[in-house]
Amino acid sequence: MRVVKLGGSLLDWPDISTALPQWHAAQPAMPSVLVVGGGRLADVFREMYRLHSLSEASAHWLCVRAMQLNSHLAHALWPATVHLDSLAAAARLPPERPGLLDPWQFLQAEATASGVSALPECWDVTSDSIAARAGECLGACELVLLKSALPSEPFTRAYATQTGYVDAFFATAAARLPAVRCVNLRGANWPECLLAAN
């Protein structure tokens, strides 16, 4: 199982509907779960947070709703994908049909089961850490971060966190993942690098 975080910035790219399936077809065959970022929709809620003095927790969950909506956009752009209302549904995925995880259902189910959210409900957590948490829960062999650029060196999870390539909680959220791979989906031949644990 692999988990793929699709950066919200890629949803503004006209070539995404061809580049994403092409990239997936070029990967080693295994079931894949996609977590789609909030992109511009999340930015709207950041502005609403500033204007209306919302709590960070309220803004966090509104941004999760933006991710949920963007997962439906991703399905419209790539109809071969299937919607996943739970992590359990990922067990039935064939390698050729990636699943789009509903982040709201996933995080709400976790919070209901344990009585507390597994991730902080604040701006330190975005789709990067949510994808990392899904990867940990699924026992994924890797997390792939599909973005519009690669991080700067040194290629470590801590440095990527410090420089803002990923969110502020990511190094903690991804600590138990065996591999984190970054891919510049906009680049020719999809340049990539691995983010070391240390």
Q: What is the mean pLDDT of each run of 10 residues along the chain (198 residues)?
A: 97 97 96 97 94 94 97 97 94 94 94 80 97 97 98 96 97 96 97 95
Q: Which tokens is 102 given? A: 């509903």
Determine the pLDDT at residue 198.
77
Determine the pLDDT at residue 155.
97
Pairing of strands 32-36, 2-6: parallel
Determine the pLDDT at residue 42.
95
Please give the Cα distance from 91 to 70 (Å, whole number). 23
Determine the pLDDT at residue 114.
72
Give the bridge partners for 2, in sequence order.
32, 142
Q: Are 9 and 147 in contact (CB under 8 A)?
A: yes
Q: How far is CA 144 from CA 109, 128, 169, 182, 194, in A?
A: 23, 10, 17, 6, 9
Of 46, 86, 74, nearest to 146 (Cα)? 74
Determine the pLDDT at residue 116.
67
Determine the pLDDT at residue 111.
83
Q: Which long-range contacts (CB under 8 A, 24 or more apart) does 10-18 make?
A: 10/39, 10/146, 10/147, 10/148, 10/185, 10/186, 11/36, 11/37, 11/39, 11/40, 11/70, 11/73, 11/74, 11/77, 12/39, 12/40, 13/148, 13/186, 15/186, 16/77, 16/185, 17/77, 17/78
Q: Are 143 and 3 in contact (CB under 8 A)?
A: yes
Q: How many residues does the chain have?
A: 198
Determine the pLDDT at residue 35.
98
pTM: 0.96
Determine the pLDDT at residue 113.
78
Respond yes or no on whether the N-terminal peptide bond of residue 154 is cis (omega within 30° of 0): yes
